[in-house]
A and B are shown apart, each in its own frame.
Chain A
Amino acid sequence: QKEVEQDPGPLSVPEGAIVSLNCTYSNSAFQYFMWYRQYSRKGPELLMYTYSSGNKEDGRFTAQVDKSSKYISLFIRDSQPSDSATYLCAMGNNFNKFYFGSGTKLNVKP
C-alpha cells in the first residue's frame, strides 16, 4: 500500500468552477500537510501548508485536513485557466521526509 494515494486525473472543469482535489494516506503519524502546484517542466511551487487538522484559507485556495479519515483536500474557488497544472499533495511526520502523491492534472477551460 502506498503511503499517499492521489487520483491522477486528468480533471477538466470550466472556468469559474470550484475544484476539489484530494489525497488519502495511511500513516496516522503524519502531521505536516502541503499542497504544491507544478507547471509542465517546472519545479513544484508551494501553495498551502497545514499543520495537524483543520482548515486553512488563502485567497481562492482552501486546504482541509481530516486526520480521523486520513484525508486531505484542496479547494480552488473561481478557477482560472492559469490554475491549469498538476497539483501534488505532500505530507510527513517530521521535517526530514515527506511523502508525495502522484499528482492530479487539472485543466481549466476558458
Chain B
Amino acid sequence: GAVVSQHPSRVICKSGTSVKIECRSLDFQATTMFWYRQFPKQSLMLMATSNEGSKATYEQGVEKDKFLINHASLTLSTLTVTSAHPEDSSFYICSARRRGGGVSGELFFGEGSRLTVL
C-alpha cells in the first residue's frame, strides 16, 4: 500500500521558536498534499492544500504567515510553524493524494506529528 511518512513524530519546543514538519510520500508521487490539525477527541481540521510547484491554498481562518507550507517536489511537503506559541500545540497530520490515481482519489495519511510548545 501507499506509504506517507511524517517527521518528526513528536517535537517539544520553546515559545517563539519555529518548527518544521516534513511529509514524504515514500512509494508514490503526490500531486497534492494536505495538512490537518487534530485536537483531542475531535476530527481533522483541514489547514491547507498544497500542490507541487505552486503556493498552498489555506482554509479560512488559517494564518498563512504562521503556518508556512512548501511543496518542493512530488514526494515532499513541509509545514513550518513560525514563532510557535502554546496554543499551537496540537497533532498535525499530512495526507497525500497519489498522482494518476484516476477516479479513486484515495488519501493516504502520515502518522502525525505531535507538537508541544512550552
Contacts and interface: CB of A to CB of B under 8 A. Distances in A.
Contacts of B41: 8, 103
A102 B110 CA distance: 18
B56 to A, nearest CB: 12
B42 A36 contact: no
Contacts of B32: 95-96
A88 interface: yes
Contacts of A6: 43
- What is the interface of chain A mostly: helix, strand, loop, or mixed? strand
Nearest to B2: A46
Contacts of A103: 41-43
A60 interface: no
Nearest to A86: B41
Interface residues of A, number: 24
Contacts of A41: 91, 112, 114
Interface string A78-110: 000000000010101001111011110000000
Contacts of B27: none
Interface in A1-43: 6, 8, 32, 34, 36, 41-43
A97 B4 CA distance: 18
Interface of B: 4, 6, 32, 41-44, 46, 49, 91, 93, 95, 97, 101, 103-112, 114
Interface of A: 6, 8, 32, 34, 36, 41-46, 49, 51, 88, 90, 92, 95-98, 100-103
